[in-house]
Amino acid sequence: NPAQLSEAAAKNAGGFFADWVMESGPAFLTKDTTEDVIIRTTLDQQIQRKAEDALQYVFDTKVKESSTAQAAIVVMSADGAVRGMVGGRKIAAAGSFNRATQALRQTGSVFKPFAYAAALDLGYTPADFVEDTKLTINIKGSGPWTPENYDKKFKGMITLTQALAESRNIPAVRISEAVGRKKVREVAQAFGVKSDLAAGPALALGASESTLLEMTGAYAGFLNGGSSVKPYGLVSLKLQGDDAELIGQGGGIGERIISQEAAEYLTYMLTQVVQRGTGTRARLGDTPVAGKTGTTNAARDAWFIGFSAHYVVGVWMGYDDNRPLTGVTGGGLPAEIWHEVMKRVHEGIPPTNLLMKIPEAKAVPQSGVSPSQLDAAAGAGSGGAAAGSGNVPAAQGGQGQQAPQGAQQPQQGGSTGDPLQDALREALGTTSGVY
């Protein structure tokens, strides 16, 4: 028979977490075995209870009693150690469907940081500018595709920081196209997103599916300074009565994916999501936090994933049958669940600063920028030095992979005066006003 938890262990371990550890452990745990084993895990029982209590509190106070909407939570350390896991609203019996590890759901805008991470690693800064204007891309075999922002509006020339903070769709696509979808996919996969990723330009908008565990693990890489992690729950396993471990830790920090500077820039950008963007409901008083909201087409999935200096927490909400949520976005209930989890988890922990780098301000490129756009950009960390990045690497090889060349350097086909736009036009092979 498969190995079973002792009565004491089953009482103390989160049911979803215990199932995950048993399934991800050695094969003999799920097959015929007569051995008694002692398993040490990463689970923090207090954090587990706090995550369960937070979810229950939000559903009791903010959601209709008759609602069948589901939610999942993962609490993790920066090295990938899972401290708590909630795979659904009800405490699970053994073998229940675990929405944190088994549900493949469209990621929406929680995927956007990978596009920005790729750009930052190539030398862009959060203070560089990108156009939030109409964009049409001709997709071979499908025809023209024109992404829209959530509010159906355009904001003109804005900083990368503002673009991510407000979760603007068009700038995210422009950035992804400029650095190359191949680069964006490589960065996401290296951070641990193992699910199949879209090949088209909607990649940057989270058209692909992933699990909450995968995505939370990827954000742990942002917190730890740019290295991949393998989420793990197993610390050690040994036969009862033996001192020697049969199996050691099942995961941890892996290789560096993006530079330390890029990771610190990205952390800064993600703090602005919470401070003045779509994630303000996740604010945690004096404790610095960073994160990203995500809402998919027709609001079938709503996410918030973010971190403090101590923990990474991922929250997903949706219906099992993929029905649209009503009046729910990632910045709403998921951010509130995240806030309640983090508030409880940080009880007694003094505020700790995040390791981040604040960018030097830059002047808004003059082409087509109104005073209101100038003010908006200045609020996102712009206005000062000349546009462009003098220390950004030159264009690199690979499919569509480009980096800005400096504001004064002419580009083939005519320069816009903005290196990011010139790089994008070169990547797309066009100099038209709409591309």
CA 118 – CA 257 distance, rounded (Å): 10
Does an H or E element contain 210, and which? strand 209-210
- Tell me what percent of the residues of the chain surpass a pLDDT of 90: 67
What CA–CA distances, in Å, run from 211 to 103, 126, 343?
Answer: 6, 28, 24
In a domain, 381, yes or no: no
pTM of the model: 0.83
In a domain, 387, yes or no: no
What CA–CA distances, in Å, run from 218 to 135, 142, 193, 224?
Answer: 29, 31, 7, 10
Burial of 236-269, coded b for 16+ CB within 10 Å and e otherwise, reads: ebbeeeeeeeeeebbbebbeebbbeebbbbbbbb
In a domain, 91, yes or no: yes
What CA–CA distances, in Å, run from 23 to 38, 48, 94, 102?
Answer: 16, 19, 11, 11
In a domain, 304, yes or no: yes
CB of 73 closer than 8 Å to CB of 65 = no
316 token code pair: 């997903």
CB of 9 closer than 8 Å to CB of 218 = no
CA 211 – CA 194 distance, rounded (Å): 9
pLDDT tens-place string over residues 212-265 = 999 999 999 999 999 999 999 999 887 776 776 667 677 899 999 999 999 999
Tell whether the torsion through CA atoms of 261, 258, 155 and 424 is positive or negative: positive
As for how many domains the chain has, the answer is: 1
**Distance between first and last Cα of the chain:** 61
Q: How confident is the prediction along the chain (435 residues), in pLDDT tens digits per residue?
A: 444 555 555 555 568 999 999 887 666 555 556 677 788 899 999 999 999 999 999 999 999 999 999 999 999 999 999 999 999 998 666 778 999 999 999 999 999 999 999 999 999 999 999 999 999 999 988 899 999 999 999 999 999 999 999 999 999 999 999 999 999 999 999 999 998 999 999 999 999 999 999 999 999 999 999 999 999 999 988 777 677 666 767 789 999 999 999 999 999 999 999 999 999 999 999 999 999 999 998 899 999 999 999 999 999 999 999 999 999 999 999 999 999 999 999 999 999 999 999 999 988 886 433 333 333 333 333 222 222 332 222 222 233 334 333 322 333 344 545 555 555 445 444 333 333
Residue 232 CA, chain-centre distance (Å), reads 18
pLDDT tens-place string over residues 287-304 = 999 999 999 988 999 999
CATH number at residue 59: 3.40.710.10
Q: Return the HEC string of 20-80.
A: HHHHHCCHHHCCCCCCCEEEEECCCHHHHHHHHHHHHHHHHHHCCCCCCCEEEEEEECCCC
**Strand spans (E) along 213-352:** 227-230, 234-239, 252-256, 290-295, 301-307, 312-318
> In the Cβ-directed half-sphere of 122, how many Cα atoms lie within 13 Å?
29
In a domain, 332, yes or no: yes
For tokens 């976005």, what's the residue?
A: 329
Structural domain span for residue 61: 12-346
**Closest-CA residue to 1 (of 24, 34, 36, 25):** 34
CA 428 – CA 424 distance, rounded (Å): 6
pLDDT tens-place string over residues 319-346 = 999 999 999 999 999 999 999 999 999 9
CA 187 – CA 185 distance, rounded (Å): 5
**Strand spans (E) along 212-296:** 227-230, 234-239, 252-256, 290-295
In a domain, 157, yes or no: yes
**Closest-CA residue to 419 (of 125, 58, 121, 212):** 125
In a domain, 412, yes or no: no
For tokens 């092979």, what's the residue?
A: 429
In a domain, 376, yes or no: no
Q: How crowded is residue 31: how many other Cβ atoms within 10 Å of its Cβ?
A: 10
